[in-house]
Amino acid sequence: MSIGASNPEYVNARVRARRAALFADEDYRKLIRMGPSGIARFMEETEYEREINALGARFSGVDLIEYALNRNLAKHFHDLLDWSEGRLYDLIARYLRKFDVWNVKTIIRGIYTETSSDEVQNDLIRAGEIDDSTIDRLLEVDTIEDAIETLNATMFYEPLLEAFDTYEQTGALVPLENALDRAFYENLLADLGRPQEGPEALYVEFLEAEIDFRNARNALRLARTGADLDPAAYYIDGGVLFTESELSRLVTDYDELVSHIADSRRYGDTLSSALTQLREAESLIQFEHALEAALLEYADTLSSSYPVSVSAVLSYILAKEREVENIRAIARGREVGLSESEIEDELVIL
Amino acid sequence: MFEITPEIAMAVLQGATLENFTDSGAAAIAVGLAALATGYAQRGIGSAAVGAMAEDDSTFGKGLILTVIPETLVILALVVVFLV
């Protein structure tokens, strides 16, 4: 499917319609005041009707909301891959493979902890590129070795195979999970080059931002906790914010790390308010939310500068992910009895 | 079909001298190019319209109207035929 003409017009029209159907800020304000069953009932009257009805008999409360959200997300993102053709498919699939990574990780963890495949299945988000039949086969295998063998047609096969030796020696899942993440991020920018203008240049810029923010997040966490881990092992290549040596140096000095981000030409302005907060505040959560909001806003700007391109799809994907995460945060927050203002702090609202 | 292609090419090459190139021939080319342009414009609008319709039935009317707007290109080009 990756050769031939692409059809951005068609995909754009559909995506924009769905974008418009997402929850508005007022809806969140309403949801914050509801309990889990209220939220489920509210969702039943919207977009999520089919999922809530399908799962309503088996689950209840927050679990019902969570699984319905996952399933709905998977449905919409799967549609995106279904509609798009050619170049557009390639660009969308690059980003959506992150759900493949999530699914494979979940399945491997399930095998490792000997969880029944039914339970694992509930936690999958079938939005990636790996098709359903492969995932079903993955759910049936009993050993990690067989699972890797099942993936032999995908881009994760080689890296997993390499990491498998280390796994056998240490018995820890970390090398396998790192291999998956690495394969995903390396593929994200592979053979896209550095286009200078047009929507694709902005798409590359966005993917770079994704990598930069991931690096920044990891570095901040390491600097914050002072954990004795090798930062180079978690460094992801391809971003513009850090080089590997810079990152290793900065991790030891928290203030300098924040200044480094603030000084960067590309992100300094957009994130300035978030960075001031970060200097003073105690928690990273606020900063991470600011990062996400900045990405979201950026993607929105892109989709109006280049109406018929991959940008609109990208902005929809981000907005949808945000919606799912917000609803989940509200439901979980209500469940553990957080106050309304505390939950509001957890939400990413533009 | 393919066997006669060289002969057709030869005929075209011999026939298409400037003396034989009449006004109506030029008009035909003009209309043809305009029709191609219309088709190209409608390709994008049409697929967007179908996409919008798939999400929401009520956009059928608007989609139809927007799709036929580039039709004006070829209609206006048709005027050329009556001018020559």
What rounded mean pLDDT belongs to chain B? Answer: 84
Distance in Å, alpha carbon of B53 to nearest chain A alpha carbon: 8
Put simply, the answer to whether A17 touches B55 (Cβ < 8 Å) is yes
In this predicted structure, the answer to whether residue A234 has a pLDDT above a threshold of 80 is no
The three-state secondary structure class of B56 is coil
Q: What is the pLDDT of residue B69?
A: 94
Find the residue in B nearest to A11 (Cα).
Answer: B51
Is the distance from CB of B26 to CB of B83 less than 8 angstroms? Answer: no
Q: What is the pLDDT of residue B70?
A: 94
A213 class by beta-carbon count within 10 Å (0-12 exposed, 13-18 middle, 19+ buried): buried
The residue among A191 and A116 whose pLDDT is bigger is: A116
Q: How do residues A156-184 score in pLDDT, each as one tens digit? A: 888 888 888 888 887 777 778 888 888 88
Q: N- to C-terminal Cα distance for chain A?
A: 36
One-letter amino acid of A41: R
Count of structural domains, chain B: 1
Distance in Å, alpha carbon of A118 to nearest chain B alpha carbon: 33
Q: What is the pLDDT of residue A2?
A: 40
Residues of A in contact with B47 (CB under 8 A): 7, 9-10, 13
Q: What is the pLDDT of residue B68?
A: 93
A 10 A CB-CB count for A331 gives: 25
Q: What is the pLDDT of residue B2?
A: 58
Nearest to B48 among A13, A18, A83 (CB): A13
In this predicted structure, the answer to whether residue A284 has a pLDDT above a threshold of 80 is no
Put simply, the answer to whether B52 touches A7 (Cβ < 8 Å) is no
What's the CA dihedral at A250, A252, A254, A255 to 10 degrees?
-70
The alpha carbon dihedral of A75, A61, A120, A110 has a sign of positive
Residues of A in contact with B45 (CB under 8 A): 9
What rounded mean pLDDT belongs to chain A? Answer: 80
Q: What is the pLDDT of residue A282?
A: 60
Q: What is the pLDDT of residue A204?
A: 81
**Which residues of B lie closer than 8 Å to A, measured between beta carbons?**
44-45, 47-52, 54-56
Average pLDDT over residues A238-265: 74
Please state the domain extents for chain A: 97-346
The residue among A124 and B6 whose pLDDT is bigger is: A124
Distance in Å, alpha carbon of A88 to nearest chain B alpha carbon: 15
Percent of chain A predicted with pLDDT > 90? 0
In this predicted structure, the answer to whether residue A304 has a pLDDT above a threshold of 70 is yes
Report the residue of A6, A7, A14, A308 to disrupt the B interface, i.e. the one with the largest count of B CBs within 10 Å: A14
Average pLDDT over residues A260-286: 70
Q: What is the pLDDT of residue B15?
A: 59
A 10 A CB-CB count for A124 gives: 21
Average pLDDT over residues B1-30: 72
Distance in Å, alpha carbon of A10 to nearest chain B alpha carbon: 4
Query: What's the pLDDT band for A1 if we cut at 50, 70, 90?
Result: very low
Q: Is residue A237 less than 8 Å (CB to CB) from chain B?
A: no
Residues of A in contact with B48 (CB under 8 A): 9-10, 12-13
Nearest to A9 among B44, B54, B56 (CB): B44
Query: What's the pLDDT band for B14 if we cut at 50, 70, 90?
Result: low
Radius of gyration of chain B (CA): 19
Q: Is residue A221 less than 8 Å (CB to CB) from chain B?
A: no
In this predicted structure, the answer to whether residue A210 has a pLDDT above a threshold of 80 is no
**Any idea which of A40-49, A93-102, A225-234, A297-306 has the lowest mean pLDDT?**
A225-234
In this predicted structure, the answer to whether residue B65 has a pLDDT above a threshold of 90 is yes
Q: How do residues A327-350 score in pLDDT, each as one tens digit? A: 888 888 888 888 888 887 777 776
Residues of B in contact with A10 (CB under 8 A): 47-48, 50-51
**Any idea which of A53-67, A68-82, A243-257, A271-285 has the lowest mean pLDDT?**
A271-285
Q: Is residue A307 less than 8 Å (CB to CB) from chain B?
A: no
Query: What's the pLDDT band for A206 if we cut at 50, 70, 90?
Result: confident
Domain of residue B67: give its range: 22-77
Distance in Å, alpha carbon of A90 to nearest chain B alpha carbon: 20
Here the ipTM equals 0.71
Among the listed residues A96, A324, A90, A104, the one whose alpha carbon sits nearest the alpha carbon of residue A210: A96
Nearest to B48 among A12, A18, A83 (CB): A12
Q: How do residues A109-158 score in pLDDT, each as one tens digit? A: 888 888 887 778 888 888 888 888 888 888 888 888 888 888 887 888 88
Residues of A in contact with B55 (CB under 8 A): 13-14, 17-18
Residues of A in contact with B51 (CB under 8 A): 9-14, 17, 83
CA-CA distance, A347 to A289, in Å (whole number)? 8
Give residue for tokens 């021939």. B25
Percent of chain A predicted with pLDDT > 70? 90
Q: Is the residue at B12 inside a domain?
A: no
Query: What's the pLDDT band for A301 if we cut at 50, 70, 90?
Result: confident
Q: What is the pLDDT of residue B9?
A: 67
Two tokens at A54?
């399908």
Report the residue of B40, B42, B56, B58 to disrupt the A interface, i.e. the one with the largest count of A CBs within 10 Å: B56
Q: What is the pLDDT of residue A226?
A: 67
One-letter amino acid of A346: E
